[in-house]
Structure 1
Amino acid sequence: MRKNKLSISHLHWGFPPIVGGVETHLTIILPQMVRLGHRVSLLTGTTEGAKARYKYAGVDIYRIPIMDLNWLYKRGLEGIKDEVYSVFSSFLKKSRPDIIHVHNMHYFSKAHAEAISDLTKQKNIPLILTAHNVWDDLLFLELTHQIDWTHIIAVSHFIKKEIIGIGIDDRKITVIHHGIDQRKFHPEVSTAKMLKKYPRLKNKRIVFHPARIGLAKGCDTSIKAINLVKEKYPDIMLVLAGSKNIIDWGETQQKDIAYLVRLIKHFKLEKNCLIDAYSLEEMKELYAASDICIYPSSSGEPFGLTMLEAMASAKPMIITNSGGMPEIIKDGINGFVIPIRDFELLAAKIKNLLGDKRLRDRLGYTGRQMIESQYTKERVTKDMLSVYNKLL
């Protein structure tokens, strides 16, 4: 039965100040659902400096340690099912949802997936999973298969193909590409504050790698490419986006950063690289200040929200033919697509773009037009609500 106004409960492991693609997606979509008149709640993990209960743009936020993956990784997952069940049951009593929508709960913890599945069956509430990622191990296979998801939203056709590949009925899966707030990311953003904070960037050719720093995101490929670009453009600056507030399951990021710093020193690129943790406002300014954005992921990147942010900022984007990214970036149309780990071709594409402002402007303009027509927060919210209403 279709309802005009819904009570929608979301569950995810993190929310700002935790930084990540899913977290950013939630800050875009959940308030948009509230603006359309729906009652929206989110159960998420605790994090330093965040209250246990508060409102974010009309969204009821509930934070609990047992949803914090960093805490869970250190604690271990044994003996937590009863506590998870109790926490979830209490949350659902408060939120009284018509729809329960979980994000990436087909991985990490079997106890969490089973608890929410049991409760939704008891209450006869549709359980929707958004698969923002896929993994290559038994836990992913088990939770994606054994939990009776009412419907699965895949963030790309790549994700849908991977899920179908493990035996899930394609009629149970809907692809909904992300959308962004095109008013927040745009070419006219002022860069004054950011250039004052980072004077090293003034009058430089800026190549921005906006994805969270790590080897899976291709940061080593970017560094190797900049080493070659420097020969022709000694004023080149590679900006890498680090973050302290992330979900770091397995505690791999600090190891990756240590390796990347050694790589920068090996190539003597200390004056050509900037690594820091940037606020959302600084990220917007970095996009606006950059000449080119790059995301040479070395893994099966499911989507990459930073692609949309770069496009909205009218910047050409260079990506690898990894996962779902080529669904958005079209070679020679709004950016370039290169093979994984091909730092020499990445360097060649960067030099090509730096030497041709008309090409940069054309690719960037096309990307901005694509955002305005296809990748808005209004479109993705409409698509999501359409899925909800089909299940009621």
Structure 2
Amino acid sequence: MARDPVAGSTPRGDGSGVPVGEGSDALRVGAVSVAEFGRPGLLSYTLTRRSARLQRLLAERHVALLHAHFGVEGTYAAPLARGLRIPLVTTLHGFDVTLSRARLFRSGRISWVNYAIWRDDLLETGASFVCVSEYVRRCALEWGYPDDRLVVLPIGVDVDLIRPAPVVERPRILHVARLVEVKGTADLLRAFAVVRRAVPDAELVLIGAGPLREQLAALAAELGLGDSVRFLGALPYAETLEWMGRSRLLCLPSVTAATGAREGLGMVLLEAAALGRPVVGTEHGGIPEAVTDGVNGFLVAEHDVGGLAERLLALLRDQDLSARLGRAGREMVVERFDLRRQTAKLEALYRSLL
């Protein structure tokens, strides 16, 4: 690059729009955040999308390009990119192109409302929009994003760090997700109640926190699942990978939420596949781009609790089937989602814009 640092927003999807230093020089450059400017500075930035101090700090670091994750953060980065006269890349992950403007307004979140109001500003300013799946690209087109600036580039998985693990005998199902409607956790609990009757020693482990935690725990109790379901809450990445290795399969039965929100792809699907774990998911959003039915996992229709239970049982009862589908998943990730290859593609995109 002509200048060293690349700045971007953290891929949290929380609508904070708080830029930080990122990229190959991030450790040397250090992070920059409006949160450090105190509550008045953060509130002003949240309301107006502008911070002269933030722009000055980025200019002093000779930032050459901004990369925002989610359209909400991209909307906040647009004035900065114009002020610094540098390209802006925005990665679209899913909710930012599946929720309607009306839903964004009704959310009551200032940053989401700003996204609904100022999206056209982002479309005019953005040099490129990265879509994490073909599905997200189709949604982005429907949302009005420019076809000629859309690039499909899924986030990669470190296949050298995440190595295949032997199939475990224990009939354990793992669900890693924020506990919100779109993740389909309620359907999984109902399907697991069927599984439990057929395989009494089956276990369901849920990793993740969210607003539906108490409601889902109550549903598990109502279904009589007792201690066969474990709510572990949010765990560090390394511990989550450890649980994947100790489970027979991963299940992510995502559904279209009442708000219209849908999955863009789901990194956890790729991480499980890299470990050699088959995945049971739904024909939803970008999931079919990571899971091929009968090849590296199974897909069922949204809310098909009976079909979901049937596919879970098939993998719990047949270790050879689990191993075969797991090997295919590993091969798929190595071929299509290797982190180094995906990073090289992203770096090539950066270079093309500088």
TM-score by length of 1: 0.75
Give the structure 1 partner of residue 126 of structure 2.
Answer: 149
For residues 12-67 of structure 1, give each alpha carbon's deviation from its aligned partner in whole angstroms, at most 9, with x where no partner exists. Answer: 3749xx9xxxxxxx99xx5xx52xxxx33xxxxxxxxxxxxxx4xx6723344289
Give the structure 2 partner of residue 10 of structure 1.
Answer: 8
Tell me if 1:262 matches 2:218. yes
Paired letter, 1:366: A
Change in CA separation of 1:292 and 1:190 when aligned onto 2, cut-off 3 Å: closer
| Gapped regions of structure 2 (runs ≥ 5) | 15-19, 102-112, 257-261
Give the structure 2 partner of residue 117 of structure 1.
Answer: 78
SS in structure 1 of the partner of residue 177 of structure 2: strand
- Superposed CA RMSD in Å reads 3.1
Q: Distance in 2 between matches of 1:345 and 1:360?
A: 17
Give the structure 2 partner of residue 241 of structure 1.
Answer: 207
Paired letter, 2:196: K
Tell me if 1:311 matches 2:267. no
Pick one of 120, 134, 140 that aligns with 1:163: 140
Give the structure 2 partner of residue 127 of structure 1.
Answer: 88
SS in structure 1 of the partner of residue 191 of structure 2: helix
1:227-376 to 2 correspondences below 5 Å? 227-243=193-209, 253-254=210-211, 256-276=212-232, 277-299=234-256, 300-376=262-338
Q: Distance in 1 between matches of 2:166 and 2:325?
A: 19
Tell me if 1:107 matches 2:72. yes
Q: Distance in 1 between matches of 2:29 and 2:155?
A: 19
Check conservation: 1:334, 1:366, Cα contact below 8 A. Answer: yes
Check conservation: 2:254, 2:302, Cα contact below 8 A. Answer: yes
SS in structure 1 of the partner of residue 129 of structure 2: strand
Change in CA separation of 1:367 and 1:84 when aligned onto 2, cut-off 3 Å: same
Give the structure 1 partner of residue 107 of structure 2.
Answer: none
Cα deviation for residue 94 of structure 1 reads 3.7
Structure 1 range deviating more: 212-221 or 331-340: 212-221
Q: Distance in 2 between matches of 1:323 and 1:135?
A: 10
Q: Distance in 1 between matches of 2:267 and 2:189?
A: 21
Change in CA separation of 1:336 and 1:143 when aligned onto 2, cut-off 3 Å: farther
For residues 338-381 of structure 1, give each alpha carbon's deviation from its aligned partner in whole angstroms, at most 9, with x where no partner exists. Answer: 11111111000011111222211110001111122221110111
1:213-232 to 2 correspondences below 5 Å? 213-232=179-198
Paired letter, 1:227: A
Give the structure 2 partner of residue 248 of structure 1.
Answer: none
TM-score by length of 2: 0.83
Change in CA separation of 1:83 and 1:336 when aligned onto 2, cut-off 3 Å: closer
Q: Distance in 2 between matches of 1:83 and 1:225?
A: 45
Change in CA separation of 1:189 and 1:234 when aligned onto 2, cut-off 3 Å: closer
Give the structure 1 partner of residue 259 of structure 2.
Answer: none
Paired letter, 1:9: A
Cα deviation for residue 102 of structure 1 reads 0.9
Change in CA separation of 1:59 and 1:160 when aligned onto 2, cut-off 3 Å: farther
Cα deviation for residue 333 of structure 1 reads 0.8
Pick one of 149, 154, 159 that aligns with 1:182: 159
Q: Distance in 2 between matches of 1:303 and 1:381?
A: 17
